[in-house]
């Protein structure tokens, strides 16, 4: 069902309605803390502390650039899909070398040492003490406690004096928030930690590890208390296999590359040599993985894919300096799934892995800019984000920086894609509903997520929007019933909803409301119906199951690269095209009730029986009325009810919805339709 309920403060003060996309103006209190109530100012930042700040320069003729980009995505304009070349952009719109020189002089005058800038003069990064940064920007920096963590935030917006102030539209680094990746592995409910990887010993082609039958037939389970105590009986569909099953039926479900290919109708593309040949999928990550090449090639060997050859079809770039993960940064899983599953969907494409030195806003943004300015490829996959309201509250400059970067990509024919998040509507994580940024940027394409269930022949059985709840119904062996059942609630699910910052772009004109809606498209994301991947942990290569909208984004980005191949040209930002494709190009994902949702009865004589309805066992349901629920054994003898399609307040329904967007790409039909839109 379509929802248009705005539940976060609107920070847009003025909209430029004539443009394709409005750029917001922001207000901020002198305290620098608003919108979220769980923040406390602790005092001024250490004045001697060394920090790096990045000054972003205004483009020339910004209004003219905005109008030209609007025309590039207007089918009725003679400029439709007539992308700028980098030299044309530089001559007409890029900041000049003279502009950059003025800003550099301002930095030097305030004892800030220039670290780097780019060839098109978009930014300059400098380093110095907090005291010097404050003088150069006219803003005090405070230490603020937020969610139990201490961060640095500016007390107000920068006020840069003199000629430099007229050239700079944003300063990064005054706040120290960071982006989080959106990878998700199945959780062991007994520990709360991801399910361990299975060590890989002998690796051969077409090996099977995980069961692909995620939605099994109906089972009935009896749970008894010792002696003559209460007992319970539960019946419903079963998820996964038995906890002691080994390969090829490990207890958590997970799909191989050929299985996903068949489910989404990709096999016919490969038969027609549409596999991404001649295209490059650009992936931007932080830190990376020290073993990415070996891990990706083990994955390729198992799944019958071409090997990745450094310097050939696989290149790694370090635009913000060298980095090493060492398995402790939390981005090795992200990097592995990005590379492996973009390669799986587009096996003929090259991969350009662009690694930021860390997950700071600045270094990830500069890495995206590097990918755009160097023309690495027609599509850039980014599997990270942060709640939009967090940026609007504490670092509004980042909203504008990201939107401008995405717009630059769109003007050059590049689609900059972002995951929509794994926190549902963010209400549990942040205490307020919001969407993920940068997925919410109108110049980005936001990719949401689904749960995928297959038939025995690996064709698509059903899809739901991705959202998992969990309820414990029986304790460990000898399995006494949990009375009443323990509601563990929401685990994770795809992000989406209504922006509180960005006006609705033209391409969403057929949708209700006045604000940008997220996501645009969906793909496989649920780690409980996830995809296998290979990752080296603690020196041992292992195979596991992974998901998150971090999986959906590189898969869609790879399919977009195939669409570019089919078109014989760069198609630009994907989102504007998606809303004009014929109905058979995208599979609509609607709310679905399971074939046998779990229900039960608890008997405790002489008390009357207590009936546990499917809704009670699937709670909390939010706005959801249709879902799939299953009996689930976890990795121990405890038993649970695991649900699919329960995503906080977000719901899946006909047409566009705030979990899956327009739906999931329909293989060859999608590519053919997208290519025809050139």
State the Cα–Cα distance between residues 205 and 207, nearest whole angstrom.
6
User: Whole-angstrom Cα distance, residue 306 to residue 327?
Assistant: 26
Question: Which residue in 604, 392, 602, 597 sits closest to 500, CA to CA?
Answer: 392
Which residues have CB under 8 Å from 553's CB, separation 6+? Answer: 182, 381, 382, 383, 417, 418, 419, 447, 523
Q: How many CB atoms lie within 10 A of CB 436?
A: 32
- Backbone region of residue 474 per phi and psi (left: phi > 0; alpha: psi in -120 to 50; beta: other values): beta
Maximum pairwise Cα distance, the chain: 87
| Segments in 234-387 forming alpha helices (H) | 257-263, 267-271, 292-303, 332-345, 361-373
Q: Which pLDDT value is given to residue 330?
A: 83
pTM of this prediction?
0.93
Tokens representing residue 108 in the block: 């030097």
Helical packing angle, 396-411 and 62-72, nearest 10°: 50
Tokens of 80: 């439709």
Instruction: Give the integer Cα–Cα distance in Å for 225 and 201.
Output: 42
Q: With the C-alpha atoms ordered 356, 362, 364, 366, is the resulting torsion angle positive or negative?
A: negative
Count the neighbouring beta carbons within 10 Å of the beta carbon of residue 478: 11
- Main-chain dihedrals φ then ψ at residue 496, nearest 5 degrees: 170, 180
pLDDT of residue 14: 28
Indicate where the chain has its CATH 3.40.50.200 domain(s): 198-593+638-676
Question: Hunting for tokens 């779990």 — which residue is that?
Answer: 598
Q: Provide the b/e sequence for 173-204 (b: ≥16 CB within 10 Å).
A: bbbbbbbbbbbbbbbebeeeebbebbebeeee
Determine contact, residues 117/125, Cβ cutoff 8 Å. yes
| Predicted local confidence at residue 23, as pLDDT | 34
pLDDT under 50 in the chain at which residues?
Answer: 1-34
Whole-number pLDDT of residue 36: 57
The whole-angstrom separation of Cα 33 and Cα 151 is 12
Q: Which residue has the tokens 């794994």?
A: 422
Consecutive H or E run containing 233: strand 231-239
Task: Sheet containing 123-129: give its strands across.
Answer: 113-117, 123-129, 50-57, 168-172
Q: CA 180 to CA 430: how far, in whole Å?
A: 14
Bridge partners of 535, per DSSP, are 542
CA angle, 178 then 180 then 184, to 5° = 170
Nearest to 586 by CA among 644, 654, 505, 667: 667
* pLDDT at position 325: 66
Residue 158 Cα distances to 26, 55, 172, 289, 326, angstroms:
12, 11, 10, 36, 37
Q: Using the 8-state DSSP alphabet, how is residue 523 labeled? A: E
Residue 326: the pLDDT is 66
Nearest to 667 by CA among 291, 270, 283, 327: 270
Indicate the CATH number of 198-593+638-676 among 1.10.3720.10, 1.10.1040.10, 2.40.50.140, 3.40.50.200: 3.40.50.200
| Those residues with Cβ within 8 angstroms of residue 605's Cβ, 6 or more apart along the chain or in another chain | none
């Amino acid at each position: 069902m379509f929802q248009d309920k705005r539940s976060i403060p609107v920070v847009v003060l003025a909209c430029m309605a004539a443009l394709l996309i409005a750029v917001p103006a922001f207000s901020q209190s002198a305290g620098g803390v608003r919108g979220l109530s769980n923040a406390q100012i602790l005092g001024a930042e250490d004045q001697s502390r060394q920090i790096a700040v990045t000054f972003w320069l205004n483009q020339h003729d910004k209004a003219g650039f905005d109008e030209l980009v609007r025309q590039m995505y207007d089918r009725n304009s003679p400029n439709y899909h007539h992308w700028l070349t980098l030299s044309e952009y530089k001559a007409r719109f890029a900041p000049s070398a003279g502009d950059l020189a003025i800003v550099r002089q301002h930095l030097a005058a305030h004892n800030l040492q220039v670290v780097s800038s780019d060839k098109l003069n978009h930014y300059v990064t400098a380093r110095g003490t907090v005291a010097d940064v404050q003088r150069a920007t006219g803003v005090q920096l405070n230490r603020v406690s937020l969610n139990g963590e201490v961060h640095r935030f500016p007390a107000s917006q920068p006020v840069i004096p003199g000629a430099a102030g007229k050239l700079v539209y944003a300063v990064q680094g005054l706040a120290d928030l960071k982006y989080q990746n959106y990878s998700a592995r199945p959780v062991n409910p007994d520990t709360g930690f991801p399910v361990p990887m299975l060590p890989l010993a002998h690796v051969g082609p077409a090996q099977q590890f995980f069961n692909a039958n995620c939605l099994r037939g109906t089972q009935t389970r009896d749970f008894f208390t010792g002696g003559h105590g209460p007992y319970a009986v539960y019946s419903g569909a079963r998820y996964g296999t038995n906890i002691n099953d080994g390969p090829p039926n490990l207890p958590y479900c997970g799909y191989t590359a050929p299985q996903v290919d068949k489910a989404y109708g990709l096999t016919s593309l490969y038969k027609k040599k549409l596999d991404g040949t001649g295209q490059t999928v650009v992936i931007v990550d932080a830190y990376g993985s020290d073993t990415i090449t070996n891990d990706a090639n083990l994955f390729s060997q198992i799944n019958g894919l071409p090997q990745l050859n450094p310097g050939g079809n696989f290149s790694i770039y370090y635009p913000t300096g060298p980095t090493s993960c060492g398995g402790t940064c939390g981005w090795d899983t992200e990097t592995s799934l990005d590379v492996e599953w973009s390669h799986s969907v587009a096996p003929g494409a090259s991969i350009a892995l662009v690694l930021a030195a860390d997950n700071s806003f600045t270094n990830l943004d500069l890495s995206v800019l590097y990918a755009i300015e160097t023309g690495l490829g027609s599509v850039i996959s980014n599997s990270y984000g942060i709640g939009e309201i967090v940026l609007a509250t504490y670092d509004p400059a980042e909203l504008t920086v990201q939107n401008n970067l995405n717009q630059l990509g769109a003007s050059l024919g590049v689609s900059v894609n972002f995951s929509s998040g794994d926190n549902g509507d963010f209400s549990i994580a942040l205490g307020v509903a919001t969407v993920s940024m940068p997925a919410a940027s109108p110049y980005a394409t936001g990719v949401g997520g689904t749960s995928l269930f297959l038939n025995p022949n690996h064709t698509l059985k059903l899809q739901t929007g991705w959202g998992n709840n969990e309820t414990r119904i029986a304790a460990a062996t000898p399995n006494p019933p949990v009375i009443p059942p323990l509601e563990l609630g929401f685990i994770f699910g795809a992000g989406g909803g209504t922006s509180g910052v960005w006006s609705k772009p033209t391409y969403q004109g057929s949708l209700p409301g006045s604000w940008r809606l997220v996501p645009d498209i969906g793909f496989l994301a649920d780690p409980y119906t996830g995809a296998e991947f290979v990752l080296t942990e603690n020196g041992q290569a292992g195979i596991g199951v992974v998901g998150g909208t971090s999986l959906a984004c590189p898969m869609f980005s790879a399919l977009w690269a195939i669409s570019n191949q089919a078109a014989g040209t760069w198609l630009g930002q994907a989102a504007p095209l998606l809303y004009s494709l014929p109905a058979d190009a995208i599979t609509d994902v609607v709310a679905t009730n399971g074939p046998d949702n779990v229900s039960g009865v608890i008997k405790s004589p002489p008390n009357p029986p207590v009936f546990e309805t499917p809704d009670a066992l699937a709670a909390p349901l939010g706005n959801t009325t249709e879902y799939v629920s299953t009996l689930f054994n976890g990795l121990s003898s405890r038993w649970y009810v695991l649900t699919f399609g329960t995503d906080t307040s977000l719901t899946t329904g006909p047409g566009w919805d705030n979990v899956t967007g327009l739906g999931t790409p329909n293989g060859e039909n999608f590519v053919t339709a997208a290519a025809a839109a050139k």
